[in-house]
Chain A
Amino acid sequence: MLLEIAVFAPLLGSVLAVLLRASGSRAGAVWLSVACMAISAISAVAVLVRHLVDHVTMHDVALGAWIHVGNFVTPWSLREDTLSLVVVVMVSVVSALIHLYSVGYMAHDRTMPRFFVYISAFTFAMLMLVTANNLLQLFFGWEGVGLFSYLLIGYWYDRAAANAAAIKAFVVNRIGDLAFLIGIVLIYAQFGSVSFNQIFAAVPQIATQKYHLFGASMPVLDVIGVLLFIGAMGKSAQIFLHTWLADAMEGPTPISALIHAATMVAAGVYMIVRMSPLMSSAPAAMGMVAVIGGATALFAGTIGCVQNDIKRIIAYSTCSQLGYMFLGAGVGADSAAIFHMVTHAMFKALLFLAAGSVIHALADEQDVRKMGGLWRKMKVTYATMLVGALALAAIPPFAGYYSKDAILAAAYANHGTAAMFGWVCGVIGAGLTAFYISRLMILTFHGAPRGDADVHAHAHESGWMMIVPLLVLAVGSIFGGMALDRPFVGAGSATFWGSSIVPPVASVLPLSMPIPTWAADLPLLLALVGFAIAYIFYVMRPSMPGALAKAMPGLYQFLLHKWYFDELYDYVFVQPAKRLARVIWRGADDQVIDGVPTGLARWTTDFSVQIGRAQNGSVAVYSFVMLLGLLVLLSLFLVMR
């Protein structure tokens, strides 16, 4: 019952907000949805505690039937195991905090109740995704979160940029979703089921089967694994399908924190980890996961170093951190991936909410070049954001250190080609992370104010509803790593996860196979170098970054334009698609396919216009034509017999 409450309370909150909004009670709508979310978070924590105390392996809460056709059987149900419950707690707690924060952040917006309708419904969809016990229900939640992400990116729908970003997010996500759905039906065709337990049980039998594709025959599990991962790439904004995430920052900042940092974008990671019994038997797909993850960790980091919009810097950072999680999943360290997902949810939500607090204080200014000197005015925001930054940069003892370290250690210990590629990318990325986040902190809070003096003078600390969530998340970002290290990836991990995660192959567990000290310490060392460079660039020699950009204009423009992905896609996909659409409509459809019948019609129109004139649309003539047809029929009938 507790799990049902945790999952359905947000839905109730959303529905109540709709009803109360219609009846005109704005405050009621808002606070009721906040209350429902709080109930959800409390129930989620309670159900996780109960699960850990009782040591149940897996429990399925049946809710009813969904699709029942032939062998295609998918019930509505909730899966209760350690993996799903950990993520349920993460989602509902972060969501509850962001609900509270939003009451303060959106206070001046006339449409505030609609905002709460969306984010409560989003939370429900996310929880359905996480607790799904079959792939199709997971897909239900998957598309549901995509929908609310679309609605919330385009929340201020009178802005053209917001609309464009919303559509872009939905379409790019759908490309991934198509691959995901094809993967699901391929699983159905191969396994005869889409339910997790039956899939996992049948993996050994299917593992030997080959699938013919591209004229070659490849293991069917690899094909499935790659398809699922393409779906995950869309949702988690991995390289090639990442272009929507930065534009998604058009949405309100609490949304960037909840959906585009802490929860929805992590759904791809969750799905790959959830499918780990299958993925671990698909070595080629695993290699791809590790390579793409590592590449994204590095690639997004390089872009983050030169962006000027505070939210976009953090967005690229999110992209990069998701890359680390995939790297973990790709080398078989699923528990480390989930560990990083949980710590990331805390410190990244913290960074976004703090950034929101800054933007709020500066009358919607988002350009870091126009900030500076804010730390005296917003001490709590500054302190909490600093905690988030240290956690992100993986400085001990903050949360990110433990989880990122576990991933990189596992990648090094794996020793495969893909894993080593990922490790190198990840280590360089660690340096970049430290650089861009210190750059952000220095430009925002230190030095002299560079923006409008009037705006700066009015900058002030935010109200308690925005401060409390910051403090809670800061506490999590400080202690989360230390507290969760042992159960998640340490000595207690086997009993903690139970059978919900495939136990990692012995060789990738950092515990069982210690890696050389230099390899373990390298990420931290590079992070310190990153700090040092940022300090030199933005505190000691502020002229250096500009000089560097002038010295290497090609590289600077390349990074500033985000590796020209948007331009490339526009040139290769968007413009040709528009041209094709016009050609099909104006050319092919009107001229060729329509040409023949139109000629025929013109020929007969002359005849029928005559009749039309004579009778002027009278029913009689039409009936007459019909009767004629029937007469022909009847005469044929008599002739034939």
Chain B
Amino acid sequence: MITLIAAAPILSLLIWLPVLGAVIIFATGDASEASARSVRWVAFWTSLVELILALGLLAAFDSQRTGFQFVEKLAWLPHAGVSYHLGVDGISLLFVVMSALLTPIAIVASWREQRRVRAYMAAFLLLEALTIGMFESLDFLLFYVFFEGVLLPMYLIIGVWGGEQRVRAALRFFLFTLAGSLPMLLALVWMWHHAGTTDMVTLMHTSIPAAVQDWLFIAFLLAFGVKAAVWPLHSWLPDAYGEAPVAGTVMLAAVLSKMGSYGFLRFSLPMLPQATLYFAPLMLALGVIAIIYLSFAAFAQTDMKRMIAYSSAAHMGMIVVGIFTLTVEGIEGALFQMISHGLVIAALFLCVGVLLARGQSRLLEHLGGLAVRMPIFATFLMIFVLANVGLPGTSGFVGEVLILAGAIKVNFWLALLAGSGMVLSVMFMLVLVRRVLFDQSRSSVVLAPPDVGAGEWLMLAPLAVLVLVLGIHPDALTIPFDRAVHGLVQQTGGALAMKADLHHRMLAMVTR
């Protein structure tokens, strides 16, 4: 099995299989109810096979080797130095797997969707193909195409199947992301011109003049910052998260936001080391502001979905802090947190979906007392809330403590302020739990809602198991990316060796 995977062009397969599924859905179906049913199954099976392939990739990945694996390289525009170049390393591998894991869950979560089922399912499969393609790309142009391409299905998902304010939300999402990625296009063109190729592996080893690095860094910050909703580029987020259908919010929060933080790790750190060091204090400040500011904003929310949306953005601040500590602990913590956040935030939005499917309100003042009537749902929600506030024993804690271990090497106050999210998140998440599960029922829906059904078990149980297993045995994640992160830190630090003694600066708070 494993040798088979190593031999096959598995990365291409991972990109094109969902595309094939989307084409089949579009080519065969019609608007009838029977067709909608078969479309759902086709989409589900496609994404399930995709997940199996991704797990095969995970199994075949050699975590002892450095560099990229399963590399595929085909000439595309050979005279321009552009190629169809794919490969994964420890950093991108897990995002491929996570995208493949969450897509079938999103499809199951949309089983009851009645409007334009064909287009809906095709959009999700397309979204999967594009995100996975983005994480696998080793060519900047290819990366850019996938990065921009993700916008299309996501825009549709929000704009067509969203809530009441969907058009406004979709447009803002579209404009923000597009505006953000145009500077990246300029950066792409400049780097292409500079290096004569768009090959990312080459670009990582091309030295770029320090003065230009700063501009390029800003360009990347705009592109990735919007996607990762770095404060103050987050303002599209509450609307988009709030208005998108639940499955769309899941993909937005869990996978699309990681495209931004992944971009920082893939481009900013290795290609622009001087600028990264120069801008690191700014990035750390933005991260800390996001944690505190957005936690307070979450505290004021009255809508469950928006509260979770703000909480998600606040956690992205933590991830930014981890990345720009430029320490092994911080970056591994950030990577761990990216995966953990993907699972947890997806699960929390799915829990909102469970309530919506029962005709419950999203408004906290209309919920309450559900622990009595839906005990299994209550248990699931509790697990994910605890993971979200970083309780030890859940995956949320591991990332957080590693980020803090990296942060304290930079500065005491950074660690303390970033850690304040621990207190702030408890404040609003426990209020959420109280308003939804505890107190007397305030629901206007009179009938007792049925507890979690089979389909819902199917989406929530795997996430709950993963959250707990990764909390107790995090090695399963850290071993694959350990080498890649060490390499990254050495590369970023190595490029700076002449300029500044990075570690000396970082430990400046201590004297003997």
Contact = CB atoms under 8 A, between A and B. Distances in A.
Contacts of A551: none
Contacts of B386: 147
B512 A171 contact: no
A630 interface: yes
A266 to B, nearest CB: 20
Contacts of B218: none
A619 B116 CA distance: 11
A188 interface: yes
A495 B459 CA distance: 57
A336 B443 CA distance: 54
A142 B402 CA distance: 18
B95 to A, nearest CB: 18
A279 B140 CA distance: 54
B427 A171 contact: yes
Contact of A158 (B431, B438, B474, B507): B438
A186 B408 contact: yes
A515 interface: no
Interface string B419-452: 1101100110011001001111000000000000
A585 interface: yes
B300 A585 contact: yes
B426 A586 contact: no
Given A69-B478, A70-B329, A189-B409, A181 B419 contact: yes
Contacts of B365: none
Interface string A427-449: 00000000000000000000000
Interface in B356-390: 369, 371-372, 386
A630 B189 CA distance: 14
A597 B412 CA distance: 35
Nearest to B368: A158
Interface string B224-247: 000000001011101000000000
A297 interface: no
A212 B372 CA distance: 52
A554 to B, nearest CB: 34
B145 interface: yes
| Among A150, A186, A608: residue with most chain B CB under 10 A | A186
Given A185-B408, A597-B172, A69 B189 contact: no
A393 to B, nearest CB: 38
A197 interface: no
A637 interface: yes
Contacts of A68: 474-475, 478-479
Contact of A586 (B80, B300, B392, B408): B300
A167 B328 CA distance: 35
B178 interface: yes
Interface string A160-185: 10010011001100110110011011
A311 to B, nearest CB: 22
Contact of B512 (A158, A209, A578, A588): A209
Contact of B152 (A65, A609, A622): A622
Interface in A322-349: none
Nearest to B400: A181
B32 interface: no
A209 B175 contact: no
A581 B152 contact: no
A598 B238 CA distance: 13
Interface stretch (B153-161, B260-268, B341-349): B153-161
A32 to B, nearest CB: 20
A548 interface: no
A65 B475 CA distance: 8
A113 to B, nearest CB: 12
A178 B392 contact: no
A184 B159 CA distance: 47
A545 interface: no
Nearest to A157: B438
B474 A174 contact: no
A581 B296 contact: yes
Given A158-B438, A597-B172, A597-B235, A189 B405 contact: yes
Given A69-B482, A147-B391, A605-B168, A170 B426 contact: yes
A212 B391 contact: no
Given A171-B426, A210-B510, A640 B478 contact: no
A170 B482 contact: no
A65 B398 CA distance: 13
Nearest to A64: B473
A82 B156 CA distance: 65
Contacts of B148: 626, 629-630, 633
B468 interface: no
B402 A213 contact: no
A541 interface: no
A66 interface: yes
Nearest to B82: A637
B408 A182 contact: yes
A23 to B, nearest CB: 14
A213 B508 CA distance: 11
A217 interface: yes
Contacts of A143: 391-393, 397
Contacts of A619: 119, 156
B393 A140 contact: yes
A140 B474 CA distance: 14
A175 B401 contact: no
A626 B152 contact: yes
B419 A182 contact: yes
B405 A72 contact: yes
A546 interface: no
B176 interface: yes
A581 B297 contact: yes
B163 to A, nearest CB: 15
A640 B189 contact: yes
Contact of A211 (B155, B232, B236, B510): B510
Contact of A181 (B175, B404, B479, B507): B404
B144 A158 contact: no
Given A72-B329, A619-B156, 6 more contacts: A136-B401, A186-B408, A212-B511, A589-B297, A617-B160, A633-B144
15 contacts: A64-B473, A67-B401, A147-B391, A170-B426, A181-B401, A182-B404, A186-B412, A213-B509, A578-B300, A585-B301, A594-B235, A604-B171, A625-B174, A637-B80, A640-B189
Interface of B: 80, 119, 141, 144-145, 148-149, 151-152, 155-156, 159-160, 167-168, 171-172, 174-176, 178, 185, 189, 192-193, 232, 234-236, 238, 293, 296-297, 299-301, 328-329, 332-333, 369, 371-372, 386, 391-393, 397-398, 401-402, 404-405, 407-409, 412, 415-416, 419-420, 422-423, 426-427, 430-431, 434, 437-440, 472-475, 478-479, 482, 486, 507-512
Sort A-B residue pairs by CB-CB distance and give the 10 closest, nearest first: A581-B300, A157-B438, A585-B300, A140-B392, A581-B299, A70-B328, A594-B235, A581-B296, A185-B405, A626-B152
